[in-house]
Amino acid sequence: MKQALIIVDVQREYFPGGKLELYKPEKALEQIQKALRLFREKEWPIYFIRHISSQKSASIFQPDTVGVELHPALMPRPGETVLDKHFPNSFLGTGLREHLVAQNVQRLVACGMMTHMCMDTTVRAAQNDGFPVTLLEDACTGIALDWDGKTVPYPTVHAVMMASINGTFATVEKTECFLQDHQQNLHN
């Protein structure tokens, strides 16, 4: 079954010096790089999704700013696709589905930022479109959220999101488990 790697919103805005620094983004980036290496070695399709605000009043992800740039550790190579989006759903208005169908992709491996927003929305949209998804949980990150006068720490947000996605919308795995399973399958 042909699979593609979908890397969502790993942009400078989310790292130190950006306008919305996430929870330990460098740790997620390390795991994303591992998955990216594997897909590059196998020459399998890789899609970089980049969020750009369509609202002039938005405080983040403004067009033509440093914040919208992909993280330099993940610079796309020739043949790797970069798609811009304006909504949390990476399929909405991007042509992603059409690209996947044209390349006969049947399964997605997803990672990126933010867990509770664009990752959740993208994974659910992929599943609704008929694509089975593996979500690399340690290759995702986000922020703490406020609810009912309380701050929900990011590790709790992450755990709840992964628990709600796992099984119905995706198979949630650690990157290392995915890589080990993949290597075993190559040798069998």
pLDDT value at 183 more than 90: no
Query: Options 3.40.50.2300, 3.30.1490.20, 3.40.50.850, 3.20.20.140; which CATH number does 3-187 get?
Result: 3.40.50.850
From CA 129, how far away is CA 87, in angstroms rounded? 17
| pTM value > 0.75 | yes
Structure confidence by residue, pLDDT tens digits, 77-111: 999 999 999 999 999 999 999 999 999 999 999 99
The b/e string for 120-155 (b: 16+ C-beta within 10 A; e otherwise) is: bbbbbbbbeeebebbbbbbbbbbbeeeeeeeeeebe
Structure confidence by residue, pLDDT tens digits, 111-144: 999 999 999 999 999 999 999 999 999 999 999 9
